[in-house]
């Protein structure tokens, strides 16, 4: 276990090689699974504030679902998540060249909104388990990411390296520097 401040990280973030390979997985993590992407409470108000700017990047089915149910839902454990279209793909998914992509990220890249996507998506395949004031960072091993593990191994990219931007977004640069010292 790697412990930095109030974060306990699995040693897998140091040991697992990982680098997304969208050409192989086609963005399956946005389509497969039994619930939407985990959301933090403050992300819901941001989504509600900017949803009209995200709509042009979404599918009609996604827009209909958001208009019907709102920008968030609850999973089977009562956690906040993005809603799903027909119980399958995230409402914010659109497809380009056969690859599932994020409408929030597209809106961000177009300068329409000030955030790229939920932090849980940015951190994937790391999942955060909260216990009181402590965050537990756990690697979520999923068969759809086999190509990412292979590509990471070929590149020599460890999970903490691949997720540098996301980890800094969540915990800050000083925290990430401490992580680097701990893993080296």
pLDDT of amino acid 52: 97
Rounded to an integer, what is the distance from CA 35 to the centroid of its chain?
A: 13
At 41, which helix (H) or strand (E)? Answer: helix 41-54
The whole-angstrom separation of Cα 142 and Cα 126 is: 11
**Which 8-state DSSP code applies to residue 91?**
T
Of the chain, the percentage scoring pLDDT greater than 90 comes to 78
Q: Read off the pLDDT of each residue in 19-28 and give the average, rounded to a whole number.
A: 88
Note the pLDDT tens digit of each residue in 103-115.
999 999 999 999 9
Residue 56: φ, ψ to 5°: -60, -15
Identify the band that residue 49 occupies on the pLDDT scale cut at 50, 70 and 90. very high
Query: Domain map of the chain by residue range?
Result: 1-18+125-184, 37-115
At 2, which helix (H) or strand (E)? Answer: strand 2-4
pLDDT of amino acid 61: 96
Identify the band that residue 29 occupies on the pLDDT scale cut at 50, 70 and 90. confident
Token look-up 């050409």 returns 23
Token look-up 């609850």 returns 74
Assess whether pLDDT exceeds 80 at residue 178. Answer: yes
pTM of model > 0.85: yes
């Amino acid at each position: 276990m790697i412990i930095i401040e109030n974060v306990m990280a699995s040693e897998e973030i140091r040991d697992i090689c990982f680098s997304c390979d969208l050409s192989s997985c086609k963005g399956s993590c946005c389509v497969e699974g039994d619930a939407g992407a985990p959301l933090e409470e403050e992300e819901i108000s941001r989504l509600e504030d900017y949803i009209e700017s995200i709509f042009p990047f979404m599918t009609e089915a996604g827009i209909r679902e958001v208009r019907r149910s709102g920008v968030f839902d609850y999973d089977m454990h009562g956690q906040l998540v993005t809603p799903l279209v027909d119980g399958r793909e995230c409402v914010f998914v659109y497809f380009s060249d056969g690859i599932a992509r994020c409408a929030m990220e597209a809106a961000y890249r177009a300068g329409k909104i000030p955030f790229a996507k939920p932090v849980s998506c940015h951190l994937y395949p790391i999942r955060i388990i909260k216990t009181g004031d402590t965050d537990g960072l756990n690697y979520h091993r999923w068969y759809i990411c086999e190509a990412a593990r292979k590509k990471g191994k070929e590149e020599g990219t460890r999970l903490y390296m691949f997720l540098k931007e996301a980890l800094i977004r969540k915990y800050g640069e000083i925290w990430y520097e401490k992580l680097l010292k701990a893993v080296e």
